Structure 1
Amino acid sequence: MTPVQKLAGLLVLILLLMAGAAGVAWQIQDWRMGKKLSEQLSAQNAAHQGQLDTITSEAWRQQKAEQNKRLATEQQLALQDQQHTKELSDAQRNQARLRDQLATADVRLSVLIEDSASGCNVPTTPGTAGVVHAARRAQLDPAHSQRIIRITDDGDNAIIALRACQAYVRAIAR
């Protein structure tokens, strides 16, 4: 073997040893960095999971609060509905009683009559209806009285329904 061949062989051997050392160093660095990266990822995952847990618990708390508000509003609306239903049934019962009294002539509707000629509000003859000395009145025909009562019934029902709608809108707006 010639010295050039020996030198070339030695050079190849040195290059192989250097490549092997570099490969081993590379592998060791890979293990160290892999372990370090794994620890960092583990820490990041733990922090991320903590943030997710916080966000999730806050979302659940907000959802529960919204459910409680909705339930409170529904209960309030149910109470208001019961109140308005009672008002409506009371008004209808009173209207029916008044209609019955008008039909049986227990009650008669009357209107004031202006008596500007005499200038005196005292009746000339005593009446059997009462001793009140006031303006003269004329009784309405029962059919007209029934129509007036029907109109006022519709108006009362509309007012009660309007109050119920307004209460509902106020409750929902809150």
Structure 2
Amino acid sequence: MSAATVRGIAILLVVAGIYGVGLLTGRAMVGKTFAEYREEVALDVIVDQAYFTVEQNKLNTQLANLSQLHQEEKARAEAAERKLLADVQSGDRRLSVITNGCKAPAPATTGSLGDAAPRAELDPAHAGRIVTITQDGDEGLRALSWLQDYVCTVCEPEGASWSFCGR
């Protein structure tokens, strides 16, 4: 072997030694083996899953409370609507419209209070159909309100500095 080859091998051994010492020093500085690192990552995943589960349970509770509130509102509104419709159809409650100066037949007018606009009573069957139409509209408005509440509960984070829900 020539002197240059021996020198090359010596330099290679020195570089390999320095590299090995660097790896050992780096591992000692980090202080963790791969197994320890893997355990830490697994623990982080478990903690994240637990947090997600807690947050999901909070959201589910909020949605269940919201659903119960809406069902109670719906039951109250339907009871009031059924009573109104029954009263109108039985004649216990009468609906009338302003005639805007049109001459209504004498028996169809309700009493007048001086300068009040003349009114005409509606037939109970027609009044019932009008009440049914308004009930359908009210149900649509309630459904829209419930949808807005749902979207605000699910999509708007707590403590957000912005709000499109008016909270």
TM-score, normalised via structure 1 length: 0.62
Larger mean Cα displacement after TM superposition, 130-139 or 152-161: 130-139
| Whole-angstrom CA distance in 2 between matches of 1:170 and 1:56 | 34
Structure 2 match to 1:167? 149
2:143 matches 1:157: no
CA distances 1:40-90 after superposition (whole Å, capped 9, x unpaired): 7xx899522221222112111111111111111111111111111111111
| Whole-angstrom CA distance in 2 between matches of 1:47 and 1:130 | 95
| Whole-angstrom CA distance in 2 between matches of 1:153 and 1:93 | 11
Deviation, 1:131, is 7.7
Change (3 A) 1:140 1:130: closer
Within a 5 Å distance, the mapping from 1:24-43 to structure 2 comes to none
Structure 1 match to 2:35? 49
Q: Select 2:121's aligned residue among 131, 139, 146.
A: 139
Within a 5 Å distance, the mapping from 1:116-135 to structure 2 comes to 132-133=113-114, 134-135=116-117
Gaps of 5+ in 2: 1-23, 104-108, 157-167
2:96 matches 1:84: no
Greater Rg over alpha carbons, structure: 1
**Secondary structure in 1 matching 2:97:** strand
Structure 1 match to 2:19? none
Deviation, 1:100, is 1.2
RMSD, matched Cα: 2.9
Structure 1 match to 2:51? 65
Q: Indicate conservation of the 8 Å contact 1:109/1:140, yes or no.
A: yes
Q: Indicate conservation of the 8 Å contact 2:99/2:118, yes or no.
A: yes
Question: 4+ residue stretches of structure 1 with deviation over 6 A?
Answer: none
TM-score, normalised via structure 2 length: 0.65
| Whole-angstrom CA distance in 2 between matches of 1:131 and 1:73 | 56
| Whole-angstrom CA distance in 1 between matches of 2:81 and 2:102 | 35
Q: Select 1:115's aligned residue among 89, 101, 116.
A: 101
| Whole-angstrom CA distance in 2 between matches of 1:105 and 1:147 | 14
Structure 1 match to 2:15? none
**Matched residues, number:** 126
